[in-house]
């Protein structure tokens, strides 16, 4: 081994490794620092030292034109790579990423996956089933992976964790600490780790020689990566006289340090097979929760919060007790914020317990497990629930990094951070609720921003509709920042350089794409909310064109209500009322003229659907100003009442609507009622008609005397046989009401009946006979309205 | 209430832990290592004593508690500070068992015990008076009747409080000064007993039973709480039951019988299913009986089945010897629980071919 070459094999995101790297670099004072990272992103390194860079941040790198294939390389302040970068920049040393650049295979894989997804979607579209294509693609990939390879790559991703597990430590960090403590200086620790890794690698892979053929794609890629890193190391050794320090995952350390064992020729052969791609890269803010999942290197941190704590501890000298107390009081603060009692005395007890737990378990430093056990016992009275509530904030953390203003960023991201600052909307990793008052200018602007982002597929905010329904000038949003949003913004850059422009042109593009009336009206609503007038007018005119050519009356009916809603409630916003009104009117006219035919030949389900559509459409018509529309609507409805081909359910409903609108007087309604419930009509039709007529509103029967008398008189007018024949129909209609309502109806019937009885008595009929007749009628009546005997 | 030190002439029904496991304790004590003042064993040795393992001299140490190691470590670590330990859990989760063994291992004496009940008053916690002496001579040290708590403070040992929440909250509060300041004032004598090092309290309490008092919040803050769970898996619970039945049965001198692991496993499975309200495969929903059907109850069913088999039957624990005992354990409420058992028999036991004998046996008795 070249004695100028020093390989620092680390744990990705390991605070212990980071501290060791810092120390080692101080000792070595190398001329050049090489870091395992995509070599095509090397020019981004200098920005790391800018004043405004606050980790967690990540390097986003994607093939030009394919932002969907983006890969991320996240760094926390406790990542050894980050520390190495900062050290080199602060000491004016040259620093470079040496891993393989972006590969063409990435794009191939992406296109393949998309094709697969499309294929699945097409297949499933016929079944019209809800289906999650993404989940399926993922599971397919999982199935393909060989379990042996899986285990190998698992170990390769965090070999130190694996070693720690074998050695009986709870995680890689504690094992690292013990190694560092046992070694005299950090350089010795690194060479010890390299030895361990060399042994581990030879165990797992057998004695693989340089130039051997790789077994599969994964292994080939691994070999290419190491060859690439080696070639950079050779270059650096040739260019510089001083030390060369390489910071890489511990797994790779043996393959890089024994550089003489690998022939330059073999490495070049390997590298010839790679297909580098022109990539675009930039710094983006990252979040704690995203650090916690594996990405990029395939190395995730289970607990960013804990690692941050450990990292802080490597830089203070206050002793173990202080460290424990700091963590426990953090726990107590979070507990207090959630409304639990957590006294200072309990923090002291938790600290003492933690200390003594570590002693019982024979550890020099308490780990996260000891901290948790102590908090559970001393701060939470043994109850898991409070700990679970604060778990996310404590263990994962809520930090969102930020990137310095001077650092070139995708233009939309820059614009967004400008707007975020302007409106004081901080991106937070864990969800938060915000309320906007739309009457104020800033509230409106914030709402517009979130709506525009939604249009751009950046779902930073989710509108809580339930809350929004309460008032027209208030909006409640749930905002939660995900690093993917940066990718979505990078993708959206094709639409324009600022959020406003991009959203506008994206909305216009969408408006021209959508062919479905319902989706289009939803799009109109979104564009209105996002205040994109140009897109709105395009969408409206498209909608008008669609409405004119569309034969689907039901589709048109469904879009009128949202439009009417906007016109009525959208006053808080600046909207093109005239245009909207014109559109709504034209759709209403379209529906009114086609309504009668739309009611023809409907089966059971379709007529139930039509019933709710009619109800909604009717509401919309009454909301829109203009009497002539309403009159025309009534005329159309009347046409349906007497149209035998229209579905009976709708005819009943329409009769009732006309009765309610007082378009039909009592006699007209009564004749329609007896007509449609005549003996000659098949029972299923008459019962459907009655169901439509009652219209799920039995309450009205109790209160509307006219309606009650109408039905009552009709029933009384029936002779015995007819009554018995029609009985099932009536019973079916009334079973829809709940028991209380049926009881009240019965009481009402009794009241009316007893009046009748008095009348009969007055007429001088035989007393006992009437009384008996009435009593004998009661059980039947009860059965009729489906009430149990008392 | 105070432990009797004199050795009984007749064989006792149950030996205290420190007598039963004297050899193990001695083996673990052989090491010369750091230990808190007043402790008979080092904390690590206490953990080994409870969870089993190997003593420094190579002899085996049996496991007293089968379950989460972290819980026992937390308990021992708590006692190693001067914080009192509260073991919480549903009935039959080995709270008293753990507390007895902790006391035996740490203080070498598990008999310093106060059984808390609704009738326990302050005099039984703090100290009482020998009234003859009190009337004759007035308050004096000789007239003082010491409680286990007071003795433990003076001698620097552990004291166990069983079922802490069964005594009234006002009586519970007597402990506050003892717990936080480790002193017990005796105003009549114008002095206070200051606890010696090694003194501490292990309390146990039930967190599900009805008819218990709440733990006063002032007291709660002065305890570190360890919640002992029900065994998480069938295998774990079966191994607990098998071990304990063997120990208790041997202690009682029950006649030798054929090993009954299979039958014991059946009891445990049955208990777990009824307790969880669903079958082990999670396919059938069941009614749950009014009793808690804890591990401890499964053990007692095993013991009585053993006794029955040994004395009255062929010496094999079979479905017949189980049946009566099972019914006794499950049917606590003659109406409700009978329905529960009936349903379980018909929907679960009957379709299981290997359980056919159990079905017939229980049916015969019911």
Structure token digits, residue B69: 């190691």
Unique residue bearing structure tokens 């008459």: A686
- Judge contact between A197 and A251, C-beta under 8 A: yes
Smallest CA-to-CA distance from B57 within B23, B18, B28 is with B28
Domain edge (last residue) among A447, A468, A502? A502
**Alpha-carbon span A365 to A368, nearest angstrom:** 10
- Asked whether residue B238 is assigned to any structural domain, the reply reads yes
Q: What is the pLDDT of residue A351?
A: 92
Which chain A residue lies closest to B46 (C-alpha atoms)?
Answer: A360
Distance of CA A33 to the CA centre of its chain: 41
Query: Where are the extended beta strands (E) located within B216-364?
Result: 223-227
A474, two tokens: 């208030």
Q: Looking at residue A206, what is its pLDDT? A: 59
What SS3 class is residue B241? helix
The domain of B304 spans 234-365
**What H or E segment, with its residue span, contains residue B274?**
helix B261-276
Which residues on B lie below 8 Å from A328 (Cβ)?
none
CA-CA distance, A563 to A623, in Å (whole number)? 10
Question: Is B117 found in the same domain as B255?
Answer: no
Residues A416 and A378 in one domain: no
Q: What is the rounded CA–CA span in Å between residue B328 and residue A41? A: 75
Domain boundary, last residue among B227, B249, B284: B227
Does residue A547 belong to the interface with chain B, where contact is any CB pair within 8 Å?
no
Which residues, given as ranges, of chain B have pLDDT below 50? 1-8
Contact (Cβ atoms closer than 8 angstroms) between residue A56 and residue A397: no
Q: Which residues of A touch B81 (CB under 8 A)?
A: 349, 352-353, 356
In a shared domain, residues A212 and A290 = yes
Question: Does A716 map to a domain?
Answer: no
| Residue A660: both structure tokens together | 């309610």
Task: Please name the residues in contact with A422: beta carbons below 8 A apart, sequence gap of 6 or more.
Answer: none
Q: Kindly state whether residues B315 and B358 are assigned to the same domain.
A: yes
For residues A76 and A174, state if they share a domain: yes
Helix, strand, coil percent values for chain B (each to nearest 5): 50, 15, 40
Domain co-membership, B140 together with B207:
yes
Distance of residue A369 Cα from the nearest chain B Cα, in angstroms: 9
Smallest Cβ–Cβ distance between B73 and the set A341, A346, A357 belongs to: A357
Rounded Cα distance, A538 and A524, in Å: 9
User: Cα separation of A361 and B47, whole Å?
Assistant: 9
Q: Are residues B75 and B142 in the same domain?
A: yes
CB atoms within 10 A of CB A208: 16
Query: Is the separation of the CB atoms in B83 and A378 below 8 Å?
Result: yes
Q: Which residues of A touch B86 (CB under 8 A)?
A: 382
Q: What is the pLDDT of residue A145?
A: 37
Question: In B260-274, which positions are buried (b, 16+ CB within 10 angstroms) versus exposed (e)?
Answer: beebbbbbbbbbbbb
Structure tokens at A770: 């009437």
**One domain for residues B263 and B172:** no
CA A383 to centroid of chain Cα atoms: 31
Count of domains for chain A: 3
Say if CB A451 and CB A530 are below 8 A apart.
yes
Q: Order of strands, edge to edge, in the sheet holding A94-99?
A: A5-10, A244-249, A32-38, A94-99
- Tens-place pLDDT, residues A716-733: 777 777 777 777 777 777
| Tokens found for residue A573 | 């916003």
Residue A11 · residue A176 · CB < 8 Å: yes
| pLDDT at position A685 | 79
Angle at A337 between CA A331 and CA A341, to 5 degrees: 70
- Does residue B2 lie in a domain region? no
CA-based nearest distance B102→chain A, Å: 14
Does B313 lie in the same domain as B212?
A: no
Residues A222 and A268 in one domain: yes
Residues in Cβ contact with B253 at an 8 Å cutoff, skipping those fewer than 6 apart:
none
Total domains, chain B: 2
Nearest chain B CA: its distance from A322 CA (Å): 17
Same domain, A168 and A57: yes
Tell whether B303 is covered by a domain.
yes
With contacts defined as CB-CB under 8 Å, which chain A residues touch B53? Answer: none
Question: What backbone torsions phi and psi does residue B141 show, to the nearest 5 degrees?
Answer: -60, -35
Residues of B in contact with A353 (CB under 8 A): 74, 77-78, 81, 83, 224
Residue B4 covered by a domain? no
Q: Which parts of chain A register pLDDT below 50? A: 1, 125-149, 207, 209-211, 294-298, 466-471, 764-765, 790
Same structural domain, A81 and A215: yes
Cis before A101? omega within 30: no
Tell me, yes or no, whether A299 and A320 share the same domain.
no
What pLDDT is stored for residue A466 in this prediction? Answer: 44
Same domain assignment for residues B187 and B327: no
Nearest Cα to Cα of residue A553 among A602, A603, A514: A602
Q: What are phi and psi of A366, to 5 degrees?
A: -65, 140
Backbone angles phi, psi at A407, to 5 degrees: -75, 130
Q: Are residues A243 and A343 in the same domain?
A: no
Q: Tokens 């009891």 appear where?
A: B267
As a three-state string, the secondary structure of A662-700 is CCCCHHHHHHHHHHHCCCCCCHHHHHHHHHHHHCCCHHH
Strands A57-63 and A71-75 come out as antiparallel
Assess if residue B349 is contained within a domain. yes
Same domain, B204 and B139: yes
Residues of B whose CB is below 8 A from A374: 74
Rounded to whole angstroms, the Cα distance separating A198 from A193 reads 9
Q: Is B117 in the same domain as B58?
A: yes
Task: Tell whether B171 is covered by a domain.
Answer: yes
Report if residue A40 sits inside a domain: yes
- Chain A's closest residue to B221, CA to CA, is A346
B293 and B156 in a common domain: no
CB B28 within 8 A of CB B55: yes
Residues B168, B251 within the same domain: no
Do B215 and B269 share a domain, yes or no?
no
A162 and A210 housed in the same domain: yes
Tokens 């379990």 belong to residue: A147
Domain annotation covers residue A94: yes
| Main-chain dihedrals φ then ψ at residue A52, nearest 5 degrees | -85, 5
Q: Give the list of residues 6+ apart from residue A580 with CB closer than 8 angstroms, or none.
A: A540, A563, A566, A567
Print burial letters for A604-632: b (CB count within 10 Å at least 16), e (below 16): eebbbebbebbebbbebbebbeeeebbeb
The pTM score is 0.64
Residue B305 included in any domain: yes
| Block residue for tokens 């972290």 | B70
Residue A130 within a domain: no
Q: Do A362 and B44 touch (CB under 8 A)?
A: yes
- Which residue matches tokens 């804990």? A306
Residue A694 belongs to a domain? no
Last residue of a domain, one of B227, B245, B261: B227
A752 domain residue, yes or no: no
Q: Which domain holds residue A417?
A: 411-502
CB-based contact A38:A248 (threshold 8 Å): no
Residue where one domain finishes, among candidates A474, A502, A530: A502
**Gyration radius from chain A CA atoms:** 37
Please give the Cα distance from A694 to B219 (Å, whole number). 64
Between CA B171 and CA A423 the distance in angstroms is: 59
Out of B77, B220, B223, the one facing A360 most closely (by C-beta) is B77
Distance between CA atoms of residues A536 and A528, nearest Å: 6
Residue A529 counted as domain residue: no
Question: A320 and A293, same structural domain?
Answer: no
Contact between residue B317 and residue B305 where contact means Cβ atoms under 8 Å apart? yes
Q: What is the distance in angstroms between the Cα of A336 and the nearest Cα belonging to chain B?
A: 15
Same domain, A337 and A484: no
B6 in a structural domain: no
List A72's β-bridge partners, or say none.
A60
Domain assignment of residue A616, yes or no: no
A349 touches chain B (CB under 8 A): yes
Helix (H) or strand (E) holding A386: helix A384-391
- Phi, psi (rounded to 5 degrees) for A445: -65, -40
Buried b (16+ CB within 10 A) or exposed e, A77-111: bbbbbbbbbbbbbeeebebbbbbbbbbeebbeebe
Give me the helices (H) in A303-408, please.
304-314, 320-337, 344-360, 368-374, 384-391
User: Does one domain contain both A232 and A360?
Assistant: no
Instruction: Give the best residue of A367, A374, A381, A388 to mutate against chain B (max B CB count within 10 A).
Output: A381
Tokens 């007896």 locate to A674
Contacts of A380 in chain B (CB under 8 A): 225
H or E element that contains A114? helix A104-127
The CA distance from B74 to A360, in Å, is 9
A273, A303, A333 — which closes off a domain? Answer: A303
Is any Cβ of chain B less than 8 angstroms from the Cβ of A357? Answer: yes
Domain limit, last residue, from B180, B209, B227:
B227
């Amino acid at each position: 081994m070249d004695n100028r070459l020093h390989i620092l094999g680390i744990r990705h995101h390991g605070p212990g490794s980071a501290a060791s790297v810092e120390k080692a670099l101080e000792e070595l004072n190398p001329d050049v620092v090489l870091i395992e990272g995509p070599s095509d992103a090397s020019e981004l390194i200098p920005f790391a030292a800018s004043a405004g860079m606050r980790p967690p941040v990540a390097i986003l790198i994607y093939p030009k034109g394919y932002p969907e294939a983006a890969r991320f390389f996240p760094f926390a302040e406790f990542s050894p790579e980050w520390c190495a970068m900062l050290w080199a920049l602060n000491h004016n040393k040259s620093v470079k990423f040496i891993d393989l650049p972006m590969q063409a295979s990435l794009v191939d894989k992406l296109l393949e996956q998309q094709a697969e997804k499309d294929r699945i979607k097409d297949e499933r579209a016929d079944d019209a089933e809800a289906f999650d294509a993404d989940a399926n693609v993922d599971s397919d990939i999982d199935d393909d992976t060989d379990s042996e390879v899986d285990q190998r790559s698992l170990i390769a991703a965090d070999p130190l964790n694996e070693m720690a597990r074998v050695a009986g430590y709870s995680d890689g960090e504690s094992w690292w600490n013990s190694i560092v403590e046992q070694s005299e200086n950090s350089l010795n620790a690194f060479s010890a780790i390299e030895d361990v890794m060399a042994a581990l690698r030879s165990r797992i892979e057998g004695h693989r020689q340089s130039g051997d053929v790789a077994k599969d794609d994964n292994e080939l890629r691994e070999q290419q990566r190491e060859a690439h890193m080696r070639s950079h190391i050779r270059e650096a050794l040739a260019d510089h006289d001083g030390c060369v320090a390489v910071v890489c995952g511990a797994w790779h350390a043996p393959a890089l340090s024994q550089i003489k064992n690998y022939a330059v020729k073999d490495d070049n052969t390997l590298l010839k097979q790679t297909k580098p791609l022109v990539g675009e890269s930039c710094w983006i803010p990252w979040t704690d929760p995203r650090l916690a999942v594996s990405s990029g290197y395939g190395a995730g941190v289970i607990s960013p919060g804990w690692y941050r704590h450990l990292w802080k501890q490597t830089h203070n000298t206050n002793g173990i007790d202080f460290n424990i107390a700091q963590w426990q009081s953090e726990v107590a603060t979070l507990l207090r914020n959630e409304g639990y009692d957590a006294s200072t005395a309990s923090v002291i007890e938790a600290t003492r317990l933690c200390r003594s737990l570590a002693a019982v378990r024979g550890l020099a430093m308490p780990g996260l497990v000891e901290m948790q056990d102590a908090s559970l016992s001393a701060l939470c009275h043994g109850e898991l629930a409070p700990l679970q509530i604060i778990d996310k904030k404590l263990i994962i953390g809520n930090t969102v990094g930020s990137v310095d203003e001077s650092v070139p960023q995708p233009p939309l991201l820059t614009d967004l951070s400008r707007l975020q600052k302007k409106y004081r909307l901080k991106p937070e990793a864990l969800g938060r609720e915000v309320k906007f008052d739309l009457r104020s200018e800033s509230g409106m602007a914030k709402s517009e921003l979130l709506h525009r982002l939604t249009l751009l597929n950046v779902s930073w905010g989710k509108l809580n509709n339930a809350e929004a329904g309460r008032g027209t000038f208030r909006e409640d949003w749930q905002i939660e920042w995900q690093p993917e949003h940066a990718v979505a913004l990078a993708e959206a850059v094709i639409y324009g350089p600022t959020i406003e422009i991009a959203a506008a042109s994206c909305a216009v593009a969408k408006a021209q794409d959508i062919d479905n009336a319902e989706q289009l009206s939803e799009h109109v609503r979104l564009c209105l909310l996002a205040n994109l007038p140009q897109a709105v007018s395009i969408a409206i005119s498209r909608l008008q064109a669609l409405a004119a050519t569309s034969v689907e009356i039901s589709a048109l009916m469904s879009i009128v209500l949202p439009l009417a809603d906007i016109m009525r409630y959208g006053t808080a916003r600046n909207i093109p009322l005239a245009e909207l009104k014109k559109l709504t009117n034209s759709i209403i006219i379209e529906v009114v003229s086609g309504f009668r035919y739309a009611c023809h030949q409907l089966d059971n389900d379709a007529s139930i659907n039509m019933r709710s559509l009619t109800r909604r459409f009717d509401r919309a018509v009454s909301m829109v100003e203009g009497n002539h529309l309403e009159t025309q609507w009534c005329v159309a409805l009347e046409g349906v009442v007497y149209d035998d081909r229209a579905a009976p359910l709708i005819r009943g409903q329409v009769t009732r609507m006309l009765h309610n609108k007082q378009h039909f007087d009592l006699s007209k309604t009564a004749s329609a009622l007896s007509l449609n419930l005549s003996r000659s009509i098949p029972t299923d039709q008459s019962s459907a008609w009655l169901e439509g007529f009652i219209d799920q509103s039995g309450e009205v029967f109790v209160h509307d005397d006219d309606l009650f008398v109408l039905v009552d008189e009709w029933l009384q007018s029936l002779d015995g046989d007819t009554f018995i024949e029609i009985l099932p129909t009536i019973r079916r209609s009334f079973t829809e009401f709940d028991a209380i309502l049926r009881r009240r109806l019965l009481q009402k019937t009794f009241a009316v009946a007893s009046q009748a009885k008095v009348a009969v008595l007055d007429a001088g009929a035989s007393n006992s006979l009437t009384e008996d007749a009435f009593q004998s009628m009661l059980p039947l009546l009860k059965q009729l309205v489906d009430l149990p005997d008392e | 209430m105070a432990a009797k030190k004199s050795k009984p002439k007749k064989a006792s029904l149950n030996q205290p832990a420190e007598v039963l496991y004297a050899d193990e304790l001695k083996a673990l004590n052989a090491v010369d290592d750091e230990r808190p003042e007043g402790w008979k064993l080092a904390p690590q040795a206490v953990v080994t004593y409870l969870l089993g393992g190997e003593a420094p001299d190579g002899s085996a140490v049996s496991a007293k508690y089968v379950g989460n190691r972290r819980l026992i470590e937390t308990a021992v670590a708590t006692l190693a500070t001067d914080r009192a330990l509260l073991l919480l859990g549903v009935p039959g989760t080995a709270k008293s068992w753990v507390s007895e063994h902790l006391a035996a291992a740490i203080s070498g004496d598990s008999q310093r015990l106060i059984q808390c009940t609704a009738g326990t008053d302050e005099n039984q916690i703090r100290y009482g008076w020998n009234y003859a002496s009190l009337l004759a001579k007035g308050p004096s040290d000789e007239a003082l009747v010491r409680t286990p708590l007071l003795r433990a403070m003076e001698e620097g040992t552990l004291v166990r409080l069983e079922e802490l929440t069964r005594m009234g909250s006002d009586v519970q509060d007597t402990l506050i000064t003892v717990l936080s300041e480790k002193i017990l004032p005796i105003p009549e004598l114008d002095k206070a007993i200051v606890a010696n090092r090694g003194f501490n309290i292990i309390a146990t309490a039930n967190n599900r039973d009805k008819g218990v008092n709440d733990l006063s919040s002032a007291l709660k803050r002065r305890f570190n709480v360890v919640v002992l769970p029900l065994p998480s898996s069938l295998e774990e619970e079966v191994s607990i039951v098998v071990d304990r039945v063997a120990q208790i049965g041997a202690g009682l001198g029950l006649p030798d019988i054929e090993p009954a692991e299979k039958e014991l496993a059946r009891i445990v499975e049955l208990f777990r299913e009824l307790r969880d309200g669903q079958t082990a495969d999670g396919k059938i929903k069941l009614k749950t009986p009014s009793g808690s059907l804890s591990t401890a109850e499964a053990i007692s069913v095993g013991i009585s089945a053993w006794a029955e088999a040994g004395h009255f039957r062929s010496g094999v624990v079979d479905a017949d010897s189980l049946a009566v005992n099972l019914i006794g354990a499950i049917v606590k409420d003659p109406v409700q629980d009978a329905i529960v058992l009936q349903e379980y028999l018909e929907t679960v036991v009957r379709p299981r071919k290997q359980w056919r004998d159990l079905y017939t046996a229980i049916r015969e008795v019911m």
